[in-house]
Structure 1
Amino acid sequence: MSKNSREPSQIKPYSLIMCAAFLWASGGTASKYLFNTGMSPYILVQYRVSFSALVILGYLFFFERNSVKINCKDLWYFIALGAFGMGGVQVTYLFAISKIKVAMAILLQYLAPFFVAIYSYLFFKERMDRWKVLSIFLAFVGCFFVVEAYSVSFFSLDKQGVIAALLSAGFFFFYSLLGERLMRKYSPWTVLFYAFAFAALLFNIILPPKNLLLWRMEFRWWITVAYIISFGTVIPFGFFFMGIEHLRATRASIVATLEPISAGILSFIILGEVLTPWQIFGGFLVITAIIIIQSRREIDPEAPVFMKKDRPN
């Protein structure tokens, strides 16, 4: 297939990741609401990973039954992806937003593109030109201004929340890269199913499964949980992994920095919070970073979608 025939298909992965960023931001806002009503972040993680695994399993069973099959040799990679990657990022991120502002937790988590880019360059031999470096820099600086990290209150944040957010960046980096490697052999939904399944297994060993049934039964609460599982977890993670499949983890993580911008927009729409000129400037920087990385539609032959096409049956 020629390069020109492949390029148009790159528009869809960027769109999917941008949608994922918006949905993650909305899920974070909904999670904060539950924490304010007294729900533990650990219980919410148990809900998210357990029911996300069941939802994806249902989809695979009815539409892609053969995708449930994996090579036993890859089992340990899936266990690591689920227990340390997906499970780790879920619990540290949700714990962080239970302690500090959602936008601030997102900023610290989005140190991950730096980690992903450096590791991919050193160990995966990913091409790292000046435009990609500029995009990473602009994206992070933009996030810095969007969440008003320059304000005095930034330095009085809860230390546990800050540490959790930084750990979340590390887990984000880990699951993005390991997920990319596994998608060279498997579909994004196969990788996600086993990631959530092993994360769910871990959390239901640590926490009693009865927690899933014993929390409060208010209708409004259940609607919020259902939203977080579907639109805040399954769909955005699916979109993100589908993006990685075409773009690789570095580009995908740069585009995903649209999440704090989305959080700011949602706060403006839902909570009536006014965006400051510096926040608008930060949003402009992030959008500029995404335009730069999206405009350079180079085809990376190491992207999982092309590795799978070239793999003999």
Structure 2
Amino acid sequence: MIAESRIRTLATIGLLAMTAVWGSTFVLIKGVVDRWPVADFLAVRFIIAAIAMLLVFHRHVARLGRQKLWRGVVLGMLYGVGQLLQTWGLSLISPSVSGFVTGMYVVFTPILATLVFRQRMPAIIWLAVGLATLGLALLSLNGFSVDEGVWLTLIAALLYGLHIVLLGRWSHAEEAFGLSAVQMVVIAVVCMLATVSHGGPALPPDRSAWIAVLYMALIAGAGAMLMQTWAQAHLPATRAAIVMTTEPVFAAFFAVLLGSDVLTWRMVGGGALVLAAMYLVELMPRRRAEGELPAEAVHHEV
């Protein structure tokens, strides 16, 4: 039990680190997609990430059985389509609204876990979901209108929630390297297909775009996917989703740190609510419920 608790703590820290990296990308890639088509940016990013992961983990991929390979394909398709929809939606709505709608995967995750796998969620999870949603709204929203961009982003959030639920059920620690690599290859293929209409992806237009895409590919892409896959082998999906709602908190932090935004009471209040939600599910002593069994125990039921 002590070893298991330590591993779950490390998994949580890993997810937080990954989410901090995601939060840093909002400032890093600002302006890059204005000079470079969105689909091209995503395709080049994930092609580089896929090549890097295959070079390092090709033996792990070879050891995966047919079932695991197909599961990696399904997970990669969900994530890849989600990336495209989220980014296209972002081109139609403000970044703050996009951040809030994307963060709605924290609501979709327990709902999908209940519907797909019939997991019972303890009341504390639903309370945490409510706090996280309020925090995201306070952190991100300045007006809200339901238009095409919102719907595209909402569908992306639904796909992310399903990805988190399925990854939590299908990921095993010993197969995380191979499963991560398969997902990355499929994501690259999905994004490549989105560029077929204009003859394939164009290369980055300048040095700063190259720096951004390499960081996004190797750190925020390959590294983050590997960390998420490993961490979700040890954490229930709903807890992972709530931990990952700290992304807009980190995004606001880096925006203020790098001088592209000013600290406001909304940032402080929204960030506090998101962190409170994470505290409820991660740090407070509680009884385990059926929907909160360790990921390892759930896997044996498959």
Q: How does 1:178-257 map to 2 (within 5 A)?
A: 178-184=166-172, 187-208=175-196, 211-212=200-201, 214-257=202-245
Going from structure 1 to structure 2, the CA distance change for 1:169 and 1:188 (only over 3 Å counts) comes to same
- TM normalised by structure 1 equals 0.85
Q: 1:108–1:165: 8 Å Cα contact kept in structure 2?
A: yes
Going from structure 1 to structure 2, the CA distance change for 1:173 and 1:31 (only over 3 Å counts) comes to same
- Give the corresponding residue for 2:55: 58
Q: How does 1:133-212 map to 2 (within 5 A)?
A: 133-147=126-140, 149=141, 151-152=142-143, 154-155=144-145, 159-184=147-172, 187-208=175-196, 211-212=200-201
Selected match of 2:280 from 266, 269, 292: 292
Supply the distance in 1 between the matched residues of 2:93 and 2:194 (Cα, whole angstroms). 25
How much has 1:80 moved relative to structure 2?
A: 2.2
Supply the distance in 2 between the matched residues of 1:307 and 1:185 (Cα, whole angstroms). 13
How much has 1:127 moved relative to structure 2?
A: 4.0
- SS of alignment partner, residue 222 of structure 2: helix
- Give the corresponding residue for 1:78: 72
How much has 1:121 moved relative to structure 2?
A: 2.5
How much has 1:81 moved relative to structure 2?
A: 1.9
Supply the distance in 1 between the matched residues of 2:175 and 2:60 (Cα, whole angstroms). 11
Q: Which one-letter code corresponds to 1:264 in the other structure?
A: A
Supply the distance in 1 between the matched residues of 2:68 and 2:225 (Cα, whole angstroms). 21
- SS of alignment partner, residue 246 of structure 1: coil
How much has 1:233 moved relative to structure 2?
A: 1.6
Q: 1:86–1:199: 8 Å Cα contact kept in structure 2?
A: yes
Supply the distance in 2 between the matched residues of 1:215 and 1:181 (Cα, whole angstroms). 37
How much has 1:142 moved relative to structure 2?
A: 0.5
Supply the distance in 1 between the matched residues of 2:204 and 2:231 (Cα, whole angstroms). 36
Q: 1:26–1:263: 8 Å Cα contact kept in structure 2?
A: yes
- Give the corresponding residue for 1:282: 270
Selected match of 2:13 from 12, 15, 18: 15
- Give the corresponding residue for 1:130: 123
Q: Which runs of 5+ in 1 are unaligned?
A: none
The answer to whether 1:108 aligns with 2:128 is: no
Identity %: 19
Q: 2:75–2:166: 8 Å Cα contact kept in structure 1?
A: yes
Supply the distance in 2 between the matched residues of 1:68 and 1:32 (Cα, whole angstroms). 38
Supply the distance in 2 between the matched residues of 1:80 and 1:181 (Cα, whole angstroms). 13
How much has 1:120 moved relative to structure 2?
A: 1.4
Write out per-residue CA displacement over residues 186-205 of structure 1, whole angstroms, 9 at most, x where no aligned residue.
62222221112122233334
Q: 1:32–1:97: 8 Å Cα contact kept in structure 2?
A: no
Q: Which one-letter code corresponds to 1:39 in the other structure?
A: W
Selected match of 1:48 from 45, 49, 67: 45
Supply the distance in 1 between the matched residues of 2:221 and 2:79 (Cα, whole angstroms). 11
How much has 1:296 moved relative to structure 2?
A: 4.0
Q: 1:146–1:260: 8 Å Cα contact kept in structure 2?
A: yes
Selected match of 1:261 from 234, 249, 260: 249
Q: Which runs of 5+ in 2 are unaligned?
A: none
Write out per-residue CA displacement over residues 191-245 of structure 1, whole angstroms, 9 at most, x where no aligned residue.
2211121222333345349744x43442222111111112222222222222211
Supply the distance in 1 between the matched residues of 2:194 and 2:126 (Cα, whole angstroms). 40
- SS of alignment partner, residue 121 of structure 2: coil
Residues matched between the structures, number? 297
How much has 1:16 moved relative to structure 2?
A: 1.0
Q: 2:60–2:178: 8 Å Cα contact kept in structure 1?
A: no
- Give the corresponding residue for 1:68: 62
Q: 2:93–2:150: 8 Å Cα contact kept in structure 1?
A: yes
How much has 1:168 moved relative to structure 2?
A: 1.1
Q: Which one-letter code corresponds to 2:203 in the other structure?
A: W
Supply the distance in 2 between the matched residues of 1:110 and 1:32 (Cα, whole angstroms). 19
Supply the distance in 2 between the matched residues of 1:220 and 1:211 (Cα, whole angstroms). 21
Supply the distance in 2 between the matched residues of 1:14 and 1:250 (Cα, whole angstroms). 12
Supply the distance in 1 between the matched residues of 2:267 and 2:193 (Cα, whole angstroms). 43
How much has 1:112 moved relative to structure 2?
A: 1.1
Supply the distance in 2 between the matched residues of 1:170 and 1:296 (Cα, whole angstroms). 28
How much has 1:108 moved relative to structure 2?
A: 0.5
How much has 1:304 moved relative to structure 2?
A: 3.7
